[in-house]
Amino acid sequence: MIPPIKNLSPLRSWIQFKTGPLRGFPIIPGFIIFLFVFTAFFGEILAPYSATELNLPDKFIPPFFQANGSMSHPLGTDMLGRDILSRIIVGAAPSLIVALTVVILGGVGGSALGIISGYYGGKVDVVLMRAADATLSFPIILVAMLLAVTLGPSIRNVILAISIIIWARYARVVRGEVLSVRERDFVALAKVAGASGPRIMFRHIFPNVMHTILVMITLQVGFIIVLEATLSFLGAGIPPPTPVWGSLIAEGKMYIAGEWWISFFPGLSLALVVLSFNMLGDWLREVLDPKLRQV
């Protein structure tokens, strides 16, 4: 896990807000996330060139700061003459789509199951938690490869494979929070007042575990993006010609000794986005946790 931002004290004065309701908010990671989301929505418009059109005469043009580089292709071109910057910009959209869809399917579903398991306990808890343990025992790469072989690589199968695994993470963490919340006085008073189980879970327990769910969502977005890129790198993710960061890195691995920029810039984009989401999640954890807020 990324270390708490407060440990980065030498940089605190210019990467975080000092005062106000956003005190401690990581400015640079927040800006990177904004760029990522913005390019994901408007990538086709922002890209200076087509992300898939071949232009063999312009292949292997280096970045602008290197000898023989050109500002017309600031990050260079690949082995087929495609502009690297355009492919990175357009490749942000599939990553965001996968991350948001998996969070909705796996995150919301897993959180709901975690609340149900923690509140009711007994056989319900045993069944759901054993299912979560069994799910976590399966390597997600193996599940995705199996789906790719049987159904073919596609964005639908990537979402399905990650969601099948990710729900158990949410269920486990949320269930642990609910076990503590359900013993508090306001839950006992709600039971005495005749409130039903679903009402207690939705009106009383859910608001008290929502901060944990929000932090989990923020941290898991980076994890999901890495998984999607890994699957695409291995050929079990989103197939060509759709440009995705994992496949962009894979395309350049054969040329890394000479044309290093083909893999480097997509990999750098991936690392910056994932790091930014992790730092945002750490800030949310500090803001929403009363104990850390006092510190």
Taken in order of first residue, the domains within the chain and their CATH numbers are 5-13+24-294 (1.10.3720.10)
SS3 label, residue 112: helix
Q: How confident is the model at residue 216 (pLDDT cuts 50, 70, 90)?
A: confident
Residue 230 has pLDDT above 70, yes or no: yes
Output the CA torsion sign for 251, 154, 137, 178: positive
Residue 160 has pLDDT above 50, yes or no: yes
Q: Mean pLDDT, to the nearest integer, of 36-52? A: 91
Of the candidates 161, 109, 105, 114, the residue with the CA atom closest to the CA atom of residue 138: 161
Distance from C-alpha of 270 to C-alpha of 63, rounded to nearest angstrom: 18
What is the model's pLDDT at position 63?
93
Q: Mean pLDDT, to the nearest integer, of 266-279? A: 93
Q: How confident is the model at residue 5 (pLDDT cuts 50, 70, 90)?
A: very low
Q: How confident is the model at residue 11 (pLDDT cuts 50, 70, 90)?
A: very low
Q: How confident is the model at residue 40 (pLDDT cuts 50, 70, 90)?
A: very high
Residue 104 has pLDDT above 60, yes or no: yes
Residue 87 has pLDDT above 90, yes or no: yes
Comparing 88 with 148, which gets the higher pLDDT?
Answer: 88
Maximum separation of any 2 CA atoms in the chain, in Å: 77
What is the model's pLDDT at position 290?
56
Comparing 31 with 15, which gets the higher pLDDT?
Answer: 31
Residue 144 has pLDDT above 90, yes or no: no
Lowest mean pLDDT of 149-153, 222-226, 264-268, name the range: 149-153
Residue 16 has pLDDT above 70, yes or no: no
Task: Specify whether the CB–CB gap between 130 and 175 falls below 8 A.
Answer: no
Comparing 192 with 13, which gets the higher pLDDT?
Answer: 192
What is the model's pLDDT at position 86?
94
Q: Mean pLDDT, to the nearest integer, of 21-28? A: 76
Q: Mean pLDDT, to the nearest integer, of 84-96? A: 93
Identify any residues that bridge with 185 across adjacent strands, giving them in sequence order: none
The chain-wide mean pLDDT, for the chain, equals 85
Q: What are phi and psi of 47, to 5 degrees?
A: -65, 125
What is the model's pLDDT at position 263?
93
Q: What are phi and psi of 253, to 5 degrees?
A: -65, -25
Identify any residues that bridge with 83 across adjacent strands, giving them in sequence order: 77
Residue 26 has pLDDT above 90, yes or no: no
Task: Specify whether the CB–CB gap between 119 and 191 falls below 8 A.
Answer: no
Residue 140 has pLDDT above 80, yes or no: no
Residue 266 has pLDDT above 90, yes or no: yes
Dihedral (Cα; 104, 106, 109, 114), 10-degree rounding = -130
SS3 label, residue 287: helix
